[in-house]
Amino acid sequence: MRATDDLHICGSCRRPFVIPDAIVSAPHGVEGLVAELRCTDCGWTHIGAYAPSAIEALDRALDLSEREIRAALEICELTDELERIDGFARALEEDLITPEDFHR
């Protein structure tokens, strides 16, 4: 199977998990860059020659994916922290925590 027009989309499973394993200059007579692409979801691989603009678009797509993952992680961490705070507040309200719990 060949790569899709959007290089970050897998040519097999059609998921946006393609990363470049290697990018090198194309040999004499071949325009563009040669890239070995791999889907981190299904393991699909492809080697092909691509225009620099296609590689730049792949790089931008990977940067966007990283920002989305980081934002999702921040939301998960915030949610976890809020749940711990709520649990602590409930324990205080139900007198499950007393001043003696903090005495050394």
- Report if residue 104 sits inside a domain: no
Q: Which domain, by its residues, includes 24?
A: 18-94
Outline where 1-104 has alpha helix (H): 52-93
- Report if residue 100 sits inside a domain: no
- Report if residue 65 sits inside a domain: yes
Q: Could you tell me the maximum CA-CA distance found in the chain, to the nearest angstrom?
A: 79
- Report if residue 80 sits inside a domain: yes
- Report if residue 74 sits inside a domain: yes
Number of domains in the chain: 1
pLDDT at 24 over 90: yes
Q: Contact at 8 Å (CB) between 15 and 42?
A: yes
pLDDT at 4 over 80: no
Q: Contact at 8 Å (CB) between 77 and 32?
A: no
Whether the predicted model's global pTM rises above the 0.85 cut: no
Residue 29 is predicted with a pLDDT of: 87
